[in-house]
Amino acid sequence: MSNIVIIGAGQTGRGYLNRFFQKESVTFLDKDRTLVKSLQAAHSYQISFGPDGRKPVIVNNYRAYPINSKEGLQCLSEADLVMISVGQQNLKDTIDMLGTALASRTKEDLDILTAENGVNVKKDLLPLCRDRRVHLAEAIVFCTTLQQENSLDILSEDLDYLPYDAVSLGHTLPYENMEAEDHLDILMQRKIYTYNCISAAVAYLGYCKGYSIYSEAANDVWISQCVRNILEPLNQCICLEYHISSDEQQRFSDMAVKKFQNRAIVDTIERNARDVDRKLGPSERILAPLSLLRKYNKNCPELLLVAACAIYYGQETGTLKEAIPSYFQTLPTDWTSQIIKGLSTLSSTKFH
């Protein structure tokens, strides 16, 4: 039996990552002391998969401690594998704690996997690799998990698939449904260009059409057509960029569309649209696909409209941190003009 530590007991940590370790000893570490106390008191929680999904999973194989507690550091020092799901922006906050645990560690090799959405997120933890015992790599989370109100229970997409970077790690892992990938960097880029891009299209177009439930927006006839119009040129560019077959990329994008149209997962537009300033970054879900389209001389008015809708959302919620032109410095001027024109239209009337 392995000692697994999951840093971050939120909906991904306890609702997704822990299901790969049902036969192992798991410790949750989290900074939310109220959540830790709830996990300690309950001793178990349930992961369900919607009315047409498989039988719920009862999770009771864990301990839970505050992240900087004496008990937490002891568990880290004895861990065989550490999974981290705290949000990319919080990864640096884990370095000191992991370093302290390594200093008192008597065991040899320690595997550390990040489970965040982003490109090269492990870079923030690279200082830990000065210790020769540390093997650091990334994993990609494709599964949607949602915390149930006033409960530890989780509603999850019915998907058990966690790809990880076996090359960076230096070996494979023995846990069921964790899949070793030799080119995880390409898979992550494809996810950003496909899954994340579609997510943005549904969220921001849905916001401007007045939806609040995410799957309802994803099933809207007009939004669905916009997504298809985005994917047609984008899939072609992805195939050219990464030398993969059109059938493979079509299956990949079809899985993404099916995921977001799943009405059993009652997610919100707000949860998917928030943090718009980050999502308008040059390597993120709107501008990165636009840059790829530009590279291969493809136009996509629908994705430019998504960019305008994202800016509109940021204006309406007061969450933009930069002046509007600064977000689009990497785009051709005519594309920027189309975005500004779309924004002007949105400012006077939302879609109907």
Of the candidates 197, 194, 11, 201, the one whose C-alpha atom is nearest the C-alpha of residue 115 is 11
Q: Which residue has the tokens 């919080």?
A: 90
* Residue 295, Cβ density class (10 Å: 0-12 exposed, 13-18 middle, ≥19 buried): exposed
Cβ atoms of 22 and 44 closer than 8 Å: no
Tokens of 280: 């308008």
User: What are the sequence ranges of the domains in the chain?
Assistant: 3-182, 185-348
Kind of pairing, strands 45-48 and 57-59? antiparallel
Angstrom distance (rounded) from CA 287 to CA 108:
43
CB count in 10 Å sphere of residue 27: 22
352 residues of the chain, pLDDT tens digit each: 689 999 999 999 999 999 899 889 999 999 999 999 999 999 999 999 988 778 999 999 999 999 989 999 999 999 999 999 998 888 889 999 999 999 999 999 999 999 987 778 899 999 999 999 999 999 999 999 998 888 999 999 999 999 999 999 999 999 988 999 999 999 999 999 999 999 999 999 999 999 999 999 999 999 999 999 999 999 999 999 999 999 999 999 999 999 999 998 889 999 999 999 999 999 999 999 999 999 999 999 999 999 999 999 999 999 999 999 999 999 999 999 999 999 998 876 656 5
Give the C-alpha separation, 151 to 335, whole Å. 46
Residue 154 Cα distances to 21, 44, 150, 176, 272, angstroms: 16, 12, 11, 21, 17
Specify the CATH architecture of the domain 185-348. Orthogonal Bundle (1.10)
Tell which residue, 283, 338, 334, has the closest CA to residue 311.
Answer: 338
pTM: 0.85
Lookup: tokens for 333: 């001027």
Contact 210, 350 (CB under 8 A): yes
* Class (C level, CATH) for 3-182: alpha beta
Asked if the domains at 3-182 and 185-348 fall in one CATH topology, the answer is no
Beta strand spans in the chain (E): 3-7, 25-30, 45-48, 57-59, 62-66, 81-84, 110-115, 134-139, 145-147, 154-156, 162-165, 178-181
Q: What is the DSSP string of 213-253?
A: BHHHHHT-HHHHHHHHHHHHHHHHHHHHHHT--HHHHHHHH
